[in-house]
Structure formats: C-alpha cells, structure tokens
Amino acid sequence: MNKVRILFMPPVDVGNTNAQSLNARELVLRFDPDRLESTLWYETEPDPRLRNYPGIRLLQLPASRKTIRILYEQLAGYDLIAYMDFSPASYMFLHLPRAFRSRTTTVFHAEAPAAQLNGSSRRVQFLCRGVLPKCDVHTGITDFVARDLEKMQLRSQYVLPVGVDPRFFSPPPARTNKVPAVLFVGTLIERKGLQPLLHVAAHFPDVTFRLVGSGRDGYESVLRRSIDELGLKNVSLEGPKTQHEVLETMRESNILLVPSRLEGIPKVTLEAAATGLPCVVFNDYQTPSVVHGLTGFQVESVGEMVKSLGQLIGDASLRQSMGVEARKHAQKFDWNLVAKMWADAYLDMAARALRR
C-alpha cells in the first residue's frame, strides 16, 4: 500500500491549548513518515516542532474565506480526514455526492459522551446532526464513550485513548508545601463543575485551591462573584498558562481535582499523574486514567469528593504513595505507545477503504 495521506482538522498553532490540537501534534511527531503523511493547519504560527519535520505538511489558513479554503483542501484526495469537526466546511464536504469526495475516509474521534453538547448553540447542534452520522468511521476515546456512541446507533470501530509525554510531565525532586495545594486545570465554564468545586473548597478553608484556565463567555466573572459571596479566601483564579507553566504549577501542587461529570479521558489527569499527583474525579465517565484507591479516587457525589479529598489533604503518606502509583500508571499512556495504536488504526482504515 502506498503512503497514507491524512488531513487533520485541528489548527496546530504554538499557543493553541485545545486538547485535539495538542493530541494531533503529539501523534504526527511519532508517526512513521514512510507510511503516513500528515497535513495540518495553522493560523499564525505553528508549533515549531512541526516545521521541516519528515512526513508533516503545514498549511496556513487565510485570514478570510477559511471555509472555502478548508473545503478545497478536503477535496484534494486524501486517504483520511481525521478529527472531523462541527464546522461549515466539514458539513458541506460530507453532504457532497460521494463521487466528489473520491475515496476519502472521514474519521470522527469521540472524546466525551454526547451529552456534553447539551446546552450548546442551535448552530453547533445543527452542524453536529449533519456531521456526526455522516462520517465513515467513528472512534471512542474509552470503552465508555464507545458505548455512548452505540446509543446513537453509531458503532465505534476503534477505541483510541490519548496519551502523555512522561519525559516532559515529570515529578519535582520533592513537594515541600506545608499546606497542601489542590489544583484544577481546564476551561472555566459551567460544564466543568466549578460551582461544586467552590463548595468543596469551603470545607477546607486552610487549603489553597488553584484554578488554572481561561474563562469563556464571561464565566470567570461569575466565578469571582461566587467566590466573594461564599467568602472564600483560599481560591485563586490564575488564568490560562502555557504547557511549561502548567507543568510547574503541577509540580507546586499536591492534588488534582476534576469536578466535571462529562469527560472521556481528561488529558489533565494523565499529565498530573505523570508529575506524581493523585487525582480525584467523578466516576460518571469511568476514565481509565485514575485507578480508584490506587492512584486517586473516583467518586459518585460531591459528598464523596469532599471525603476523599479530605483523606488526601490529611495524609501526606497517602498522597506520596498514590502519587508514585499515578506516575507508574501514566507511563502506560506514553504517547510513544499510544501513537502506535493510532497509526495502526489509520493504516487499517485506509486498507479497508482500498478493499471496498
């Protein structure tokens, strides 16, 4: 089989911290350039690691008429278009007659349950209905997400997790905080469960709670009002940070708290685990990144979250032992291993298309 040509949809600008953008970059840097050729978009400045790298083509999006440019490229005869998104270009491409789309296989990577779209705009829901069922191949980030696709009569042909670079996300020589620091990293939006997090923080007034991430649609102001109303002196909103800054923040913290109830594998749980942080998450989405009782806790309610967090806050040896196990567990998700799974899946998709 000739080299498989893949077009990835997420832009890969150096400052883009979107999970799919970060995933795409880590994947293509590990693909065999003799078997896979990856084309990626950028808007202003791409991740410098991707420049002049074997098997990687970079295309700059124009300042205007982006939809037309993307659609034109989608029609360029790629074997695969990966990370199909809810964009006008993807919608139009999928609704063209099959003859125009050549033999291109479109791949939708589901990274969370479909309920995550509840409350989204009419435009997004319209595009979702026009894109999701039209894609040729669907993958789930976990078995749980794969089963969620089946509820929509969509079969997940592959389960493809995300990974972490344990050489970059590594523990500090020691954690010396006299008072434990609890960390949240993510977008500051209602769906991430930040109001319950504030109520959890109220139970531990002597413990620092650090919230890292950018706000969306003014939600940061909502959080600030809630912090003032609850009289919380132990919660800080630290804004967005680069990957290097997130790494340093994790090394300065003691526990990762993920209060969202709609996720797949939160990348931040793998990154935190690789730095030796125990994690507390909800078990609603059954993430394989946290092993209950070994690398952290998966809880069923806010009350259980308070209880589990209290155990970790009050027991430094438990934090230490869970952190060690978390680091070991995270290495099972090393991008070097995970990228091979994705590469094998992409080669299989292309081979199946040729047989058809």
Residue 207 and residue 286 in contact, taking contact as beta carbons nearer than 8 Å: no
Q: Domain spans of the chain?
A: 4-163+334-355, 181-332
Residue 133 and residue 167 in contact, taking contact as beta carbons nearer than 8 Å: no
Identify which of 228, 234, 239 has the alpha carbon closest to the alpha carbon of residue 201.
234
pTM of the model: 0.93
Burial class (CB in 10 A: 0-12, 13-18, 19+), 287: buried
Looking at residue 119, its pLDDT comes to 81
> Across residues 34-50, what is the average pLDDT?
97
- With a cut of 70, say whether residue 214 has pLDDT above it: yes
Looking at residue 14, its pLDDT comes to 94
Each residue's pLDDT tens digit, 75-127: 999 999 999 999 999 999 999 998 888 889 999 999 999 888 888 889 999 99
Other beta carbons within 10 Å of 44? 12
**Which CATH architecture describes the domain 181-332?**
3-Layer(aba) Sandwich (3.40)
- With a cut of 90, say whether residue 322 has pLDDT above it: yes
| Higher-confidence position of 212 and 115 | 212
Three-state SS letters, the chain: CCCEEEEECCCCECCCCCHHHHHHHHHHCCCCCCCEEEEEEECCCECHHHCCCCCEEEEECCCCCHHHHHHHHHCCCCCEEECCCCCHHHHHHHCCCHHHHCCCEEEEEECCCHHHHCCCCHHHHHHHHHHHHHCCEEEECCHHHHHHHHCCCCCCCEECCCCECCCCCCCCCCCCCCCCEEEEECCECHHHCHHHHHHHHHCCCCCEEEEECCECCCHHHHHHHHHHHHCCCCEEECCCCCHHHHHHHHHHCCEEEECCCCCCCCHHHHHHHHCCCCEEEECCCCCCCCCECCCEEEECCHHHHHHHHHHHHHCHHHHHHHHHHHHHHHHHHEHHHHHHHHHHHHHHHHHHHHHC
Looking at residue 98, its pLDDT comes to 87
- With a cut of 80, say whether residue 206 has pLDDT above it: yes
CATH of segment(s) 4-163+334-355: 3.40.50.2000
> Across residues 202-222, what is the average pLDDT?
95
Q: Distance of CA 272 to CAs 38, 66, 260, 276, 344, Å?
A: 29, 36, 16, 6, 28
Question: Which two tokens mark 230?
Answer: 């609850």
Q: How confident is the model at residue 353 (pLDDT cuts 50, 70, 90)?
A: confident
- With a cut of 90, say whether residue 12 has pLDDT above it: yes
Looking at residue 96, its pLDDT comes to 95
Residue 211 and residue 235 in contact, taking contact as beta carbons nearer than 8 Å: yes
Identify which of 39, 54, 48, 63 has the alpha carbon closest to the alpha carbon of residue 15.
48
Looking at residue 355, its pLDDT comes to 82
> In b/e form, how buried is each residue of 237-268, taking b as 16+ CB within 10 angstroms?
beeebeeeebbebbbbbbbbbbbbbbbbbbbb
Each residue's pLDDT tens digit, 284-306: 999 999 999 999 999 999 999 99
Are 4-163+334-355 and 181-332 in the same CATH fold? yes
Each residue's pLDDT tens digit, 230-249: 999 999 999 999 999 999 99
Looking at residue 199, its pLDDT comes to 96
Percent pLDDT > 90 in the chain is 90
Separation between Cα atoms, residue 250 and residue 241, nearest integer Å: 12
Q: How confident is the model at residue 1 (pLDDT cuts 50, 70, 90)?
A: low
- With a cut of 80, say whether residue 17 has pLDDT above it: yes
CB-based contacts of 196: which residues, under 8 Å, 6+ apart?
259, 302, 305
Q: What is the mean pLDDT of the chain?
A: 95
